[in-house]
Structure 1
């Protein structure tokens, strides 16, 4: 029967073997990537610039459509209606400009 200490020793050996294999594969992968980049004329700048081609969308603000005359609280008409509109005709609270 194998003891706990022997399992721990086996795990340590396997982890070191796995790390060595990862380093070997990593160097091979990096070499393949470099060859492909050279073959196709791709630079590091080409790789990093692709992520920034689209500008970020700017969220626009929506004007308030309804106003509670008692508290001054407003609602844009989007999303869930506020409690102060429950059971009431929202057109009575519409902001007219």
Structure 2
């Protein structure tokens, strides 16, 4: 490397460090101000667009079942096409089993 390139690289490292330090300080100040305003005006997360669910609400979220797309003609077993394929269809042409 040339001396000028080394010098520029050191300057860049110093600037990157200074930028990170200033960003951290600014972020801490902004968070403190935000917390103060939230407390002062009794703002709740949903008012600013944050969706908050309690632990019980999050667990209660249930996906609706998916309709089966494939059927085993021998046993009548079905498969939705999601997840790991069952043995009766694995490695075979799925069109032959389509409902």
1:83 and 2:85 are equivalent in the alignment: no
1:22-65 deviations in Å (ceiling 9; x for gaps) = 12211211121111111122579xxx982345642234265788
4+ residue runs of structure 1 moved beyond 6 angstroms? none
For structure 2, the 5+ residue unaligned runs are 82-92
What is the 5 A alignment of 1:4-23? 4-23=5-24
Give the superposition deviation at 1:85.
5.1
TM-score, normalised via structure 2 length: 0.52
* Deviations 1:44-91 (CA, angstroms, capped at 9, x unpaired): 9xxx9823456422342657885413xx36446x77x933358xxx7x
Q: Distance in 2 between matches of 1:17 and 1:65?
A: 60
Larger radius of gyration: 1
Q: 2:73 aligns with which of 68, 73, 85?
A: 68
Q: Which moved more, 1:33-42 or 1:4-13?
A: 33-42
Give 3-state SS (helix, strand or coil) of 2:7's partner. helix
Gaps of 5+ in 1: 91-97
Aligned residues: 80
Kindly report the root-mean-square deviation, in angstroms, between the aligned alpha carbons of the 2 structures.
Answer: 4.0
After TM superposition, give the deviation of residue 17 of structure 1 in Å: 1.3
Match of 1:29 in 2: 30
Which range is displaced more, 58-67 or 10-19?
58-67
Partner of 1:93: none
